[in-house]
Amino acid sequence: MKNWFAKNFLGKARSGFGHGRKLVWLLASGLWAAHALAANSMGAMPPPGPKPQVGKRIIFVAADFKNAGVIGVYRGLEAAARTLAWKVDVVDGQGKPDVLARLMDSAVADGYDGIVLGGFDASKFGAQVALAKKAGRSLVGWHSVKEPGPTRDLFTNVATDTNEVARMAADFVIQDARAAKKELGVVIFNDSEFAVANAKTEVMTKTLEACAGYQRCKLLAVQNVAIAKANTVMGEVVAKLAADHGTAWTYSLAINDIYFDHLGTALATARRTDVQNVSAGDGSNKAFARIELGSGQQIASVAEPLKMQGYQLADELNRAFARAPHSGVVSKPILVTQALLKTTGKRGIESMLGFEAAYEAVWKKGR
């Protein structure tokens, strides 16, 4: 099963559930899960592109290094930049708009060839983006607008399809409750500061309201909690939710795994160790550890192929520098469950996608 990335970067497929909520979906990761019966494939091979543009200096402006997704995609960009012999710097916006604005201004003034907007909304930094464009800088984003692809201001935005991620997470909890024959009462954790987060929350809400194939569904609340404050406020938030909804609260959905870094302890304090959690955002090593060990009440995460997206950021910048079109690649989300993690082991969930070789081949054969 070599180079899944080049052949089939898998979409999603499912075959049903068995006793005790035993997952038998084909996990959308480029690997066959133990109980998978079928698959729908979608190609994500990067198209031919330009040869490496030499001597480039890149800066990755990170929204907040507390977000594991931001760190993961930066590490992928860093690895790709080594292959291209580029210099890459990184700065941390700390989740603060004023800090991010200042860092964007500095990135332009310091003469970087390319600027990556790492996980923050480009539309909220119009002055800085306009300044960068006027100075001739190449701009690419990661989760910087709601959907993947080019925009008026960005050469392209790298991300999975927001709607697909959100539907996958919501469908998972519906099927899980259906398999267990229990009530589905959901709290969604959102951060309304981010357009991507709001889009995910809207799709999860609509999916739960439709609740295809199951009649015992209820959306209890959409709880707005700033990601940057999750570590300090989740205890209070959970206590109120538990008091308001009692045992009707059976599942949580969230736009990012970081909420669940703090939710488990808060749920235990509230004596609600029965609530199960599924994330529709990015993925993190902490989340994967919880899922694999069956701890912290998190049972799944719809993750991004972060390292691969880092490679795509480098490839898109290379195309921008050469004045070539963007690649058009849209990566697929990965439904991470205990079954998948037992299959992949220490190799990691991206271990068989083969994207490093695919991108290096594009650069080696560059026109």
pLDDT (tens digit per residue) in 158-182: 999 999 999 999 999 999 999 999 9
pLDDT at 15 (0 to 100):
32
Helix (H, G, I), strand (E, B) or coil at 226: coil
Write out pLDDT tens, residues 323-343.
999 999 999 999 999 999 998
Cα 156 vs. chain centroid, distance in angstroms? 17
- C-beta neighbour count of 252 within 10 angstroms: 26
pLDDT > 70? residue 25: no
The mean pLDDT of the chain is 87
Torsion of CA 310, 311, 316, 321, to 10 degrees: 110
Q: How far apart are CA 93 and CA 136, in angstroms?
A: 23
List all residues 6 or more positions away from 66 whose beta carbon is below 8 Å from its beta carbon: 95, 227, 228, 231, 258
pLDDT > 60? residue 22: no
pLDDT > 90? residue 239: yes
pLDDT at 45 (0 to 100):
77
Q: How far apart are CA 294 and CA 297, in angstroms?
A: 7
Strands 251-254 and 217-224: unpaired
Write out pLDDT tens, residues 275-313.
999 999 889 999 999 999 998 899 999 999 999 999 999
pLDDT at 9 (0 to 100):
37
pLDDT at 44 (0 to 100):
65
Q: How far apart are CA 221 and CA 238, in angstroms?
A: 12
Q: How many percent of the chain have pLDDT more than 90?
A: 77
pLDDT > 60? residue 23: no
pLDDT at 195 (0 to 100):
87
Write out pLDDT tens, residues 53-81.
999 999 999 999 988 899 999 999 999 99
Average the pLDDT over 189-209 and give the result. Answer: 94
Position with higher pLDDT, 344 vs 113: 113
Residue labelled with tokens 């990761």: 29
pLDDT > 50? residue 213: yes
- Compute the half-sphere exposure of residue 83: CA atoms within 13 Å on the CB side of its CA: 23
pLDDT at 212 (0 to 100):
79
DSSP letter (8 states) at residue 122? G
pLDDT at 346 (0 to 100):
82
Q: How far apart are CA 163 and CA 15, in angstroms?
A: 21
Comparing CA positions, the residue from 315, 319, 285, 363 lying closest to residue 71 is 285
pLDDT > 70? residue 34: no
Average the pLDDT over 105-130 and give the result. Answer: 96
Query: Where does the pLDDT of residue 49 fall: very low under 50, low under 70, confident under 90, or very high at 90 and above?
Result: very high
DSSP letter (8 states) at residue 289? H
Cα angle value 59/60/62 (rounded, 5°): 145
Tokens of 37: 């019966």
pLDDT at 39 (0 to 100):
30
pLDDT > 80? residue 8: no
pLDDT > 50? residue 2: no
Tokens of 30: 């480029």
Q: How far apart are CA 91 and CA 65, in angstroms?
A: 9
pLDDT at 141 (0 to 100):
98
Cα angle value 26/32/34 (rounded, 5°): 80
Give the predicted TM-score (pTM) of the model: 0.84
Average the pLDDT over 103-119 and give the result. Answer: 97
pLDDT at 43 (0 to 100):
42
Per-residue burial over 342-362, b if 16 or more Cβ lie within 10 Å, else e, is ebbeeeebbebbbbbebbeeb
pLDDT > 70? residue 265: yes
Tokens of 296: 């912290």
Write out pLDDT tens, residues 316-326.
999 999 999 99
Tell me if 209 sits within 8 A of 219, measured CB to CB. yes
Cα Rg of the chain (Å, integer): 20
Query: Where does the pLDDT of residue 350 fall: very low under 50, low under 70, confident under 90, or very high at 90 and above?
Result: very high
